[in-house]
């Protein structure tokens, strides 16, 4: 049901017990979650977990077998699509069209009219005004990615669903995209972000849903989730360290390691045994990274 507070609709999305099967294989299993207005919501999970399926259900591209979805106050239908901006993982642009014409066409398909103003605004935001009359296949991949991003914004959506928005972008463009998203958030945009880049999730998302094999594995704010896990030791070191006791898992990068401790283990003891064998440059004791949590939660599957 829709929660009302001061006459305002607080939930942009409500998913209740949806299930979906393909060829007698259960792809989504009794899944429920909400997305609140104005938040950045992370949708995570290993490949094949069902993320794309969920997104397609939200967009009425496919239908769930059972359960309920209320998106922007309605059940998924054609008119709701016009209020959503979607950046799919498998994405592309009409290679043979000019930037301007492509954006105009995509905008028309969203039912929006008179888009020149918005198109010019966003082209300027991403610094591509000079390219607007060029054919898309003449532009680099990075530039095309940026054009793809703004194609989701031109029709003034109320909700953004972005699947791997940072893929293929160099650090400069990642920053540009991130800044745009944060700016949108400040103006009240709700964003559902599906990505494998855990560091981005940690920095940007208010709440997350992690699914595994179509089921909910983790759900809630990052703080709440991390509270359920033992702290980890983060070390920068040189050398090779020997196996350690009381340790759940070690994520070793060669010069950097994240060490998850079993409950009851004293981190000081672990540090001491490490000092004997390696040179430690830096260490920190804090909540585990989302990356670590992800691997722990879904890694054994």
Q: How far is CA 104 from CA 9, 55, 222, in A?
A: 31, 25, 39
Q: What is the DSSP letter of 161?
A: E
Least distance to other proteins, CB of residue 121, Å: 20
Rounded to the nearest angstrom, the gap between the alpha carbon of residue 90 and the centroid of all alpha carbons in its chain is 15
Give the tokens for residue 243.
């196996």
Asked whether 143 and 170 are in contact (CB, 8 A), the reply is: no
Give the tokens for residue 33.
């979650």
Least distance to other proteins, CB of residue 56, Å: 8
Determine which residue in the list 11, 51, 110, 207 makes contact with other proteins, applying CB under 8 A. Answer: 110
Determine which residue in the list 9, 17, 66, 95 makes contact with other proteins, applying CB under 8 A. Answer: 95
Least distance to other proteins, CB of residue 117, Å: 19
- One symbol per residue from 131 to 160: x for binding other proteins (CB under 8 A), - otherwise; what is it? --------------------x---------
Least distance to other proteins, CB of residue 91, Å: 6
- One symbol per residue from 60 to 79: x for binding other proteins (CB under 8 A), - otherwise; what is it? xx----------------x-
Residue 105 sits in the site that holds other proteins (CB under 8 A)? yes
User: Vertex 131, ends 173 and 85: CA angle to 5°?
Assistant: 60
Q: How far apart are CA 160 and CA 84, in angstroms?
A: 6
Binding window for other proteins (CB under 8 A); candidates: 38-46, 82-90, 175-183, 223-231 = 82-90
Give the residues across from 87 on adjacent strands: 162
Of 94 and 219, which has the nearer Cβ to other proteins? 94
Q: How far apart are CA 72 and CA 78, in angstroms?
A: 13
Give the tokens for residue 208.
């997350």
Residue 93 sits in the site that holds other proteins (CB under 8 A)? yes
Residue 182 sits in the site that holds other proteins (CB under 8 A)? no
**Numbers of helices and strands, H then E, in the chain:** 10, 15
For other proteins, the binding residues (CB under 8 A) are 22-23, 59-61, 78, 81-82, 84, 86, 88, 90-97, 105-106, 108-111, 151
């Amino acid at each position: 049901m829709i929660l009302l507070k001061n006459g305002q609709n607080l939930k942009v999305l409500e998913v209740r017990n949806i299930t979906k099967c393909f060829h007698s294989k259960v792809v989504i299993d009794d899944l429920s979650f909400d997305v609140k207005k104005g938040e950045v919501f992370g949708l995570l999970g290993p490949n094949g977990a069902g993320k794309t399926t969920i997104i397609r259900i939200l967009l009425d591209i496919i239908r769930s077998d059972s359960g309920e979805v209320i998106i922007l106050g309605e059940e998924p239908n054609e008119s709701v699509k016009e209020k959503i901006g979607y950046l799919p993982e498998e994405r592309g642009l009409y290679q043979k069209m000019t930037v301007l014409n492509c954006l105009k066409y995509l905008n028309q398909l969203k039912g929006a009219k008179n888009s020149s103003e918005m198109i010019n605004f966003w082209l300027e935001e991403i610094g591509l005004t000079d390219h607007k009359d060029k054919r898309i296949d003449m532009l680099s991949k990075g530039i095309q990615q940026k054009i793809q991003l703004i194609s989701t914004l031109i029709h003034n959506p109320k909700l953004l669903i972005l699947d791997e928005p940072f893929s293929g972008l160099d650090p400069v463009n990642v920053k540009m995209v991130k800044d745009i998203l944060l700016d949108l958030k400040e103006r009240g945009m709700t964003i559902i972000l599906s990505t494998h880049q855990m560091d981005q999730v940690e920095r940007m998302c208010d709440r997350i849903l992690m699914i595994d094999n179509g089921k909910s594995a983790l759900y809630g704010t990052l703080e709440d989730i991390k509270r359920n896990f033992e702290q980890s030791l983060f070390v920068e070191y040189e050398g090779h360290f020997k196996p350690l006791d009381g340790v759940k898992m070690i994520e070793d990068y060669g010069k950097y390691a994240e060490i998850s401790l079993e409950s009851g283990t004293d981190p000081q003891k672990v540090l001491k045994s490490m000092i004997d064998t390696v040179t430690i440059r830096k260490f920190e004791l804090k909540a585990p990274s989302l990356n670590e949590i992800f691997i722990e939660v879904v890694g054994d599957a």
